[in-house]
Structures are given as C-alpha cells and as structure tokens.
Structure 1
C-alpha cells in the first residue's frame, strides 16, 4: 500500500486519545482538517432567450451560440438560457437563480404599448412574453445592483424599462443611416464593422475602451426616440443614433450597447473589454450574496 502523507495538524485541531484506555475512539478527521477546499462556483449569467418556431411548427426558446461563447469564454461565467415567458419563470425566480443577465438581441421588437404608443405595421413582430419578463427584470436589477449587459433589443429594453420610447424604423428618419442587418452575405460579412461610435469625452465607455471612438457592427432597425429617466446616452453613431448607454446612479453594472459585441468577442478589441468588465461585475455580485 502506498504511503499517504497526512497534513500537519495543530495542537488544537486534534483530540488526543488516551493511550492507557485502548477503547478510546480515534478522532474523526473532517474535510477541512484534510485541507480540502470546496470547488469555486462560476457565477451564472442568465441569457435571455427568444421564442420562435422551429421548422414552422415546433416552439422553442433559444439564444445564439455566440452569446454563450462570449459569456463563458470572455466573461468567465456559466451561460444559462432563460425561457423569457411569465408562464414559466418570474423575475424573483431569475434573480435568485442567476448572478447577472445578458439581455440579447432578437427579431421581435418591444411592443409600443410598453411606451404608450399604438401598434403599426412598421413596429414589426413582437414577443409579449419577453416584454413581461425583461422590463420588470431590468427595473429590479437597477434597484438591487444586480448586473446586466444589454445588447441590441436589450439596449432598447433598458431605455423602455426606464420610461423611454423607440422609433419603429430609424432608416426612415431624415438624415439617418440604414442600420439594419445586410440582407445577404456570410456571417463575417453580416457582423462586419460598418460605422464609428463616438463616446462622451471622459465617459464610462471611453474610459473602459481607452478610446474616444470605436468601430462596430450594426444590425438593428429600431432606435431610441425619447430617452428614459436616468438613462445616459454615452455613445452615438455618426447620424446621431444612440449606441451606448447606462443608468445613472444605479448601484450595479447597467452598460448596454446597440451593436452586437457577442460576435468574435474573444478577439474584438471593443467587445472583449465590455464582456470582461461585465464578468467582473457578475463575480463581484456573486461574491457578496
């Protein structure tokens, strides 16, 4: 039998048996006495899923592979896809199960009822289940300090959750660029950098990126109209479209962007610091609860 080395035990760690009494039981060595540490748990990021129909008949909740990749490999957290529907989960459930949230992009738009405007064909498709989860979730996280990162639709949700509104189609506005996804091309071409985003001098994003402006992709049709309460627009496209924001005086991480930083997040010099900072915020939250 191989020799098993035992750790050094301090005088107070070991109850010595009475050698004069052979029936005295030997002390039990607990896991801490053996020097075993509990494995460190990676914090969990709830990735807001989108409902859609697979093969035109099978309903699913899903999120893009690149979202999970960015959360796992750059933020350093466990990605957990959330079925964003109040029939299945509640805001309280999610805040208890997750340490932070990635508010993803998605084809459906926030319903204009949520910002007091009538529905029109220009507003496109909707996902009222997601509206019912993400909007109150954002407000609850703003209050509690639980971190979230908003991306594309998620960026728009943060503005709406804080009382703002959206333009249904920004390319129809005078002087605006077409920010929509290119209709054709490879994934690399669809997610290619297409315009500059300029940050407020000395602002949160400029300090995080170490740059006054960066190049980003653009794959959205809607955009911020009325700016919500406490929303700080910290970056804009050349046509004035808001592209980066945060919630003023929120106790936690609330940074949100209109572009898609999850694409090539490990290598992109703009995406990597954003997901790294988000991961740090999620770890800090997990360590305090």
Structure 2
C-alpha cells in the first residue's frame, strides 16, 4: 500500500556559488520517513513551478522547514531593515498561501523554525527581527562553531500549557529542546494559540485554534535525531497519524466519486 505523501517545502540555494538548486535537509526526509511513516517529496518553493491547488492535490500533508532566509517583513506590514537578514520572496508567496489554504481545508501541516514563523505570519501575526536584542531575552541562535551534534544540542526547556495540545502530544508539560533561530513571534495571529514558551518568555509552540486539521508548529528543530529524541518522536508520530487520516479520507472520497 502506498504511503501518504508529505510535501517538504524546500529552500533555494546556489550550489558551488553559481548553480541554482532547490533543496531540503536530509534530516527532514528522514523524520518524515522513519517516524511519520510517510513518503517525503521536496517541493520547489517558487510559484513559477507550483501552484497551491496542485500541491494540495498531490500531497497529503506539508512540512514547512527551517531556512536561512526570513519571511519578508512586508508580509506583516513592516519595512525591511538590515536586522531582518536575507529573504526569499518566492518561498513567501508559496508557503503563506499554502498554509492558509491547508488550515481552512483541514489538511495537516507541521511548521519548523522558519515554518513556525510562516504559520504565524500567514495567520496575521508579526515577527521580531532579532530575539537576542530584546531586554530579558536569551540568544536563541545556533552556535557559530562546533560539530553538527553541538549545534543541535538540547539547550533550553519549553513549558506547555497544562492539559493543552502539546502537553497531550508530548505526554509531558516540560521538555528539553535545541534552539537555532534569530527571529521570533512579536504578535500572534488572531487565531493562533501560543501553547509553549522558553524560560525567557519566547513563544516556542503554536497551533491554530478551531482549525479542522493538524496545525502544530514549533520554533526549535525536532527533525534532528527525530527517531531517538523523546520530544521529536511523538510530534512526528502525531503528524504522521494526521497525514494518514487525511490520505485515507481523500482515497475514500475518490472511491465514492468513481462508484
């Protein structure tokens, strides 16, 4: 039986500083395959190549990944500054519309890091350009040096609302996560629920209230060591179950239409 398909939102890169490519980290595909039990499909995040209706028809769920470029502040009504970093307007155009469409349709989405920020912006929220510059906030950025293991090491706790969605998914109200981001939520979209915070008050876990489907997003990177990490595994398992349910429902609808 064919596995459900998870579209992984890719990022644009220059390979060898001159050859343009679309790519996504292997650890995203590994988490989708080994933990969520789905087939990963990397999506070129550029409206020249894809449309939202086609993507929603081709895939059963979507993973909105991290990436170096940030959501352009014009998407939440602010002017760009040097502090906002690099941008990818093509990904903005695909990802934000796709998130809104999936939320309304009930099609499962999981946001990670930039994907977490995309969910907030798509739902009407805004972002701080640099968390570490805010009074009382910690530096949440990736360590500049060290091995991959050191960069993705668990660095702070996240506390969820008691009895909330993430508490139920994780089976724990307090977990330990990595942290590799510069930006963060300034104002939450009207329908967003901030369900988890870092010790310094930075929002770390969100979902869309009253959405008919799975809409969880996290500011950390659960794709790293997802099969072994006690926080990452239940998150990707829950996502995979939601994607499977969507796939089964889509197949059932197709059978009814052809009967």
- Name the TM-score, length of structure 1 as normaliser: 0.86
Question: Among residues 168, 173, 183, which one is paired with 1:222 in the alignment?
Answer: 183
1:68 Cα deviation (Å)?
A: 0.3
Matched residue, 1:108: 69
Q: Which residue of 1 aligns with 2:200?
A: 239
Query: Does residue 124 of structure 2 align to residue 124 of structure 1?
Result: no
Q: Does 1:257 align with 2:218?
A: yes
Which segments of structure 1 move beyond 2 Å, counting only runs of 4 or more? none
The residue number in structure 1 matching 2:253 is: none
- Counterparts of 1:73 and 1:209, CA distance in 2: 18
Residue 201 (str. 1) matches residue 148 (str. 2): no
Deviations 1:227-246 (A, max 9, x none): 10210000000000000000
- Residue 128 of structure 2: which of 167, 186, 190 is its match? 167
| Structure with the bigger percentage of helix | 2
The Cα shift of 1:169 comes to 0.3
Matched, 1:285 2:246: yes
Aligned equivalents of 1:235 and 1:54: distance in 2? Answer: 37
TM normalised by structure 2 equals 0.96
Query: 2:228 aligns to what?
Result: 267
Q: Aligned equivalents of 2:172 and 2:187: distance in 1?
A: 27
What is the SS of the residue equivalent to 1:45? strand
Greater relative contact order (CA < 8 Å, ≥ 6 in sequence): 2
Question: Matches of residues 1-289 of structure 1 in structure 2 within 5 Å?
Answer: 40-289=1-250
Q: CA RMSD in A?
A: 0.4
Mapped to 2, the partners of 1:208 and 1:71 lie a distance apart of 17
Structure 1: runs of 5 or more not aligned = 1-39
Deviation at 1:210, TM superposition (A): 1.0
